[in-house]
Amino acid sequence: MAVKLSDIPFVESLALKGKNVFIRVDFNVPIVDGQITDDSRIQGALETIRYVRDQGAKVILGSHFGRPKTEEDRKKLSLEPVAQRLQELLDCEVVLVEEPLSEAPKALLKTLREHQVLMLENLRFFAGETKNEKGLVEAISAYTDVYINDAFGASHRAHSSIVGLPATVSQKAMGFLMKKELEALNGILSGAESPYVAVLGGAKVSDKITIIKDLMNKVDGFIIGGAMAYTFLKAQGNNVGTSLVEKEQIQFAKKMIEGMEAREKKLLLPVDHVVAPRFDAVADEVKTTDSVVVPEGFMGLDIGPQTIKTYAEYLGQAKTIFWNGPMGVFENELFNKGTFAVAEAIAKSEAVSIVGGGDSASAARESGFSKDFTHISTGGGASLEYLQGVPMPGLLALQGKFKDHIVK
Ligand code: AMP
């Protein structure tokens, strides 16, 4: 069910002048060799940060970054590169606070100048964050007057900075990015125009079972690609070579195929493939099949040209499209054509198009058509859960309604 936006306080309704405002952002960005490869989550948070700063408040930013476990991870998963990028984008100094639980932030806030913002070091460096323990909450709330949640991509987690802090800080609201995310997803939850097509791809059927079951009753058709297509093709009795198949999901795939037939809805599967003997194959080992059959000793790593054509035609008729998961191993340029072609077809369609975060959001951007999507969510797991109507701890907390027992 769509959450009513009017039930959640919005940052514009709060008086912020002179306050210390903690903004929970989602700066969990991809970094390769110390370089941020996609800064859209940082870009997405700028509006709220600028607004809060322009209201004459002091900004304290908090985010998680990766899943630090060891001492070594602390070096790799510092928010330092993010602070640098934000500094360029905001055109102001970003002061990274290494010890958010110490007295340092309080002292820094006292002397913080207009063109400075504070950023707390990776919140997951502190054991209490993922367990919603009160130590972290008490430390941060001691220097926070107002709590803003702009981290849609992290709001399905009942962590300290998502539920504990807003329970302790009396003034709280959502930011601009959170509002934008909810508006976009509410649009397809409460009024998806038909034909509504869900494009699902990626690695595993098992990761997407609940969303598939949920969408079966809402969409007019599915387009299936990526590794998960091979479990469906196997379920139909096709030869899939050494493609990734989840044996334990074959029964589910069969039921889904039957279920869609019974509902007289479409379920499109690949009819040809780009195949190779291995994931890390070189160009001259790659070939394109001329049928649904994957030859022995080969694995399907992208959808083929005939499949692209069929999928693009169907997408061209759609009025609403939800996309989650790449059509192939798109990180490798030998296997990225299917994913980029689907991105192009979605972008060129007349449909309201929502990309549900993660790899498909990166692919949508890399395809060069990102401006033509209605909305590219910054949250992968979060957007899937929201669309299924799973209550989001972060949104409940903003309404003072979060109860531990609903944590999954
Ligand atoms: P997910 O996180 O479930 O959306 O899965 C994304 C991952 O699925 C990407 O890393 C892709 O490389 C991978 N993937 C997509 N298609 C295939 C395929 N045919 N075989 C193996 N992996 C794939």
339 Cα to the center of ligand 1, angstroms: 11
How far is residue 276 from each of residues 269, 283, 329, measured CA to CA in Å?
19, 9, 11
192-377: CATH topology: Rossmann fold (3.40.50)
**The listed CATH number (3.40.50.2020, 3.40.50.2300, 1.10.3720.10, 3.40.50.1260) that belongs to domain 5-178+393-406:** 3.40.50.1260
Is 358 known to be catalytic?
yes
Helices 337-348 + 358-366 axis angle, to 10: 80
Ligand 1 binding pocket mutation candidate from 244, 359, 360, 362 (most atoms within 8 A of CB): 359
Residues of the chain with pLDDT under 50: 405-408
At 155, the amino acid letter reads: S
Q: How far is the CA of 228 from the centre of ligand 1 (A)?
A: 8
Structure confidence at residue 404 (pLDDT)? 65
* 379 is a catalytic site residue: no
pLDDT in tens, 318-355: 999 999 999 999 999 999 999 999 999 999 999 999 99
- Residues 212-232: tens digit of each pLDDT: 999 999 999 999 999 999 999
- pLDDT number for residue 234: 98
Nearest CA to ligand 1 atom 2: 202
Q: Taking the mean position of all CA atoms in its chain, how far away is CA 132?
A: 22
Q: Which of 201, 358, 379, 394 is catalytic?
A: 358
- Within the chain, which residue ranges are assigned CATH 3.40.50.1260? 5-178+393-406, 192-377
Where b means 16+ CB within 10 Å and e means fewer, 135-163 reads ebbebbbebbbbbbbbbbbbbbbbbbbbb
Q: What is the dihedral of CA 104, 108, 110, 112, to 10 degrees?
A: -170
Which is the catalytic residue, given 74, 204, 213, 365? 204
